[in-house]
Amino acid sequence: MDLLAGLREIVGDTHVVTDPDAVAPYAQDWTRRWHGKPLAVVRPATVAQVSAVVRACAAAGVPLVPQGGNTGLVGAGVPQDGEVVLSLARLDSIGPLDPLGKTLMAGAGVTLAQVQRTAREAGLDVGLDFSARDTATVGGIAATNAGGERVMRHGVARFRIRGLEAVLADGSVVRRMSTVAKDNTGYDLVQLLIGSEGTLGVITAVQVDLIHPRKIIGTALVAVSTVDDALTVLRAVQHDFPGLEAAEFFHHDGLQLVLKHERRARPFDRPHPLYLLFDLSDGDGRPDAGEELTELLGGLDCVRDLVVVSTSAERRRLWELRELQTDAVSAEGVPVKLDVALPLNQLSTFERRLAGVVRPVARHAMPILFGHIAEGNVHVNLLNALDEDAEGAVMEAVLDLVASLGGSISAEHGIGLANARWLTLTRSSADLAAMRAIKQALDPEGILSPGRMLPDAAPALKRP
C-alpha cells in the first residue's frame, strides 16, 4: 500500500490533505519567508493515530514535521519539499485541572489562550503569555521552550511544564505526567523534549504547572532617550518594586509602524527614541504602588515622559503598542528576523554597533528592535534586507556581533532552519557532538524534522 493510502486508513480520508489550496496555510510560515511543498498534511485526532502516522512515515522513509499553530518564527514547523506535515491541531482536549496540585492537562493542539481561560476560571493562571496566544499551541510552546512577557516572574516554558506525552521516531509512546512536584526518577525526558523543536519526538499532551495569579495594579509607559537610560530606569523599578511582573521595550521606529499599520493612538504628544513598559502587581502588598511608581519615575532625570494607568482598558491600550510590533513589521514587509539575547551590560554596545555591522551587507536595512528588556532579549527585525540575505550575510553579521558580546543567537524563538548554520558560534564541537548523539539515539533514521536545529545537511528524501 502506498504511504498516502496508509495514512488515509489511519486518520480518515478528509484528514489527509493534498489539495494545494487547503495545504497552503500549513506550507508557509507566519513570516512568509519559509515555505515548502509537502507530500501531504496529516491531521490525527488521537495519540494512537499519531503513533501510527509516525510508524507509517518511518516505514516509507518519508520525513515528517510536527506543526501546531504555525506561529513559529524560525522556519522549523513548515515542511521542506516532499515532507509530511503532522498537524497536532485536532488533539484539542483540555483537562482535568487539579486545583490542589495546581496542574492542568492539555492536548498538544490546545491554544495558549484556551489554557489561560481554563486556568483563570479556576482562580489560577499559566504564568506564560505572548501576543500569539490565540493561535500558538501548548505542543508548539513546549517544543520551542517559548518565553514571552511573563518570563521575568515565572520563567520560560520549561519552568511551567511538569509533564509530557510524546510519540518517538519509532512510534513508541512515552508518557511522563507527574502527580507529585518532586520526581527524580531517571533522565529527565520531559526537559529533553522541551525545546527540541520537533526533532526528537512529537508531543501529544502537556501537563502545565499553574500559578496563583497576582493582580496587576499598575501599568507604566516610560519614555527615555537611550538604552543606558532604559537600564537605569529598569534597575530603579526592580529595586523598589519586587512585585514587578513584566518589563518590555520598543523604539520610535517600531511605534511608528504600529501607528501606521494598526491605527493606534500615539501615547505622548511628542515622539521619543525609546519606550519601556512595566506591569506592576499587588505581589508586595502595597495598595498605592501605582502612585509610588509614578513618584519614583517622575523623580528620575532620564525619564522624558510618563503615563501610569490602572484600568484594564487603559492597560490593553498601552500593551498593544508593544504587542502589535510583530504584526506591524510584517505588514510593512518580510524582514530578516532574529531573536537574540545580550548580557544587560552589553545591550547598549549591541544597539550602538548594530548599524555598523549591518550597513556594509544591507545598505537599505531598516532595523526595528523591541523585546523583553529584563532578559536582554532583543527581537531584531531588519526590513529591506531580505534580498541581501539570500546567502545569510545579514544574519551572519548580526549573529557574529551577538556572539562576540557573549550573547545568545536565539533567546526564545529557537534554531529551526533560520539559525542552524550559526549554532557553532555559541556551541562547542563537544556540545554539538553530544546533541548529535542524542538525535542519533532517538531518531536514527532522521525521520523527525531533518535539517532543523543541528547544522547538518538533511538526509536525502526517499520518495514513496
Ligand X SMILES: Cc1cc2nc3c(=O)[nH]c(=O)nc-3n(C[C@H](O)[C@H](O)[C@H](O)COP(=O)(O)OP(=O)(O)OC[C@H]3O[C@@H](n4cnc5c(N)ncnc54)[C@H](O)[C@@H]3O)c2cc1C
- The footprint of ligand X (CB under 6 A) covers 30, 65-73, 76-77, 88, 108, 130-132, 136-137, 139-141, 143-144, 146-148, 197-198, 202-203, 326-327, 412-413, 416, 449
Least distance in Å: CB of 133 to ligand X? 8
Nearer to ligand X, 110 or 224 (CB): 110
> DSSP states of 326-368 as a string?
HHHHHHH---EEEEEE--GGGHHHHHHHHHHHHTTT-TT-EEE
Least distance in Å: CB of 141 to ligand X? 4
Least distance in Å: CB of 297 to ligand X? 25
Q: Is 311 helix (H, G, I), strand (E, B) or coil?
A: coil
Nearer to ligand X, 141 or 423 (CB): 141
Nearer to ligand X, 150 or 388 (CB): 150
Contacts of 14 (CB under 8 A, 6+ apart): none
Under DSSP, the state recorded for 448 is: B
Nearer to ligand X, 86 or 297 (CB): 86
Per DSSP bridges, beta strands 64-67 and 40-42 are unpaired
Contacts of 404 (CB under 8 A, 6+ apart): none
Q: Is 190 helix (H, G, I), strand (E, B) or coil?
A: helix
CA distances from 71 to 183, 449, 454 (A): 32, 16, 21
Least distance in Å: CB of 137 to ligand X? 4
Separation of alpha carbons 107 and 45, rounded Å: 10
C-alpha cell at 447: 525521520
Residue with CB nearest ligand X?
140
Nearer to ligand X, 130 or 422 (CB): 130
Least distance in Å: CB of 34 to ligand X? 10
Least distance in Å: CB of 456 to ligand X? 16
Nearer to ligand X, 30 or 217 (CB): 30
Identity of the amino acid at 411: A
Q: For 367, phi and psi rounded to 5 degrees?
A: -80, 130
Least distance in Å: CB of 386 to ligand X? 17
> DSSP states of 391-426 as a string?
TSHHHHHHHHHHHHTT-BSBSSS--TTTTGGGGGGT
Separation of alpha carbons 331 and 334, rounded Å: 8
Nearer to ligand X, 306 or 407 (CB): 407
Q: Is 71 helix (H, G, I), strand (E, B) or coil?
A: coil
Least distance in Å: CB of 30 to ligand X? 5
C-alpha cell at 139: 505542543
Instruction: For residue 166, list its beta bridge partners.
Output: 174, 203
Under DSSP, the state recorded for 266 is: P
Closest to 68 in 3D by CA, of 95, 91, 93, 101: 91
Least distance in Å: CB of 85 to ligand X? 9
Nearer to ligand X, 78 or 223 (CB): 78
Nearer to ligand X, 204 or 281 (CB): 204
Exposed, middle or buried, 98 (CB in 10 Å: 0-12/13-18/19+)? Answer: middle
Nearer to ligand X, 45 or 289 (CB): 45
Separation of alpha carbons 87 and 254, rounded Å: 33
Nearer to ligand X, 361 or 383 (CB): 383
Q: For 416, phi and psi rounded to 5 degrees?
A: 55, -145
Separation of alpha carbons 271 and 258, rounded Å: 13
